[in-house]
Amino acid sequence: MSEVKKIATRESYGNALVEIGTEHKDVVVLDADLAAATKTGIFKKAFPERHIDCGIAECDMMGIAAGLSLTGKVPFASSFAMFAAGRAFEQVRNSIGYPKLNVKIGATHAGISVGEDGATHQCNEDIALMRTIPNMVIINPSDDVEAKAAVKAAYEHHGPVYMRFGRLAVPVINDNADYKFELGKGVTLRDGKDITIVATGLEVSFALEAAEKLAADGIDARVINIHTIKPIDEDIIIKAAKETKKIFTVEEHSIIGGLGSAVCDVVCEKAPAPVYKIGMRDRFGESGPAVELLHKYLLDGEGIYKQIKDNM
pLDDT tens for 31-58 read 999 999 999 999 999 999 999 999 999 9
Which of 3, 11, 58, 251 is labelled catalytic?
A: 58
Residue closest to 189 by CA, chosen among 138, 262, 240, 131: 240
Which part of the chain has CATH 3.40.50.920? 187-307
pLDDT tens for 226-252 read 999 999 999 999 999 999 999 999 999
Mean predicted confidence (pLDDT) in 207-223: 98
Spatial separation of the C-alpha atoms in residues 133 and 125, rounded to whole Å: 14
Q: What percent of the chain clears pLDDT 70, i.e. is strictly above it?
A: 99
Which part of the chain has CATH 3.40.50.970? 6-171
Domain 187-307 has CATH 3.40.50.920: yes
Residue type, 229: I
- φ/ψ (deg, to 5) at 51: -115, 130
Handedness of CA 187, 189, 190, 195 (dihedral sign): negative
Q: What percent of the chain clears pLDDT 90, i.e. is strictly above it?
A: 97
Whether the per-residue pLDDT at 1 is higher than 50: the answer is: no
Average pLDDT of the chain, as a whole number: 97
pLDDT tens for 143-153 read 999 999 999 99
- φ/ψ (deg, to 5) at 231: -75, 135
pLDDT tens for 159-196 read 999 999 999 999 999 988 889 999 999 999 999 999 99
pLDDT for 4: 81
Rg of the chain (C-alpha set): 19
Identify whether 19 is a catalytic site residue.
no
Cβ count near 48 (within 10 Å): 8
Mean predicted confidence (pLDDT) in 75-85: 98
pTM given for the model: 0.96
**Residues 150, 164: contact at Cβ < 8 Å?**
no
Q: Bin 115: left if φ > 0, else alpha if -120 < ψ < 50, else beta.
A: left
pLDDT tens for 286-302 read 999 999 999 999 999 99
For residue 289, whether the previous peptide bond is cis, meaning omega lies within 30 degrees of 0, is no
pLDDT band, very low/low/confident/very high, at 262 (cuts 50, 70, 90): very high
- The C-alpha angle 306, 9, 19, rounded to 5 degrees, equals 155
Handedness of CA 96, 99, 103, 104 (dihedral sign): positive
Query: What's 122's DSSP letter?
Result: -
Whether the per-residue pLDDT at 3 is higher than 80: the answer is: no
Angle (deg, nearest 10), helices 259-270 and 234-244: 70
Domain 6-171 has CATH 3.40.50.970: yes
- φ/ψ (deg, to 5) at 220: -90, 105
Residue closest to 270 by CA, chosen among 244, 241, 249: 241
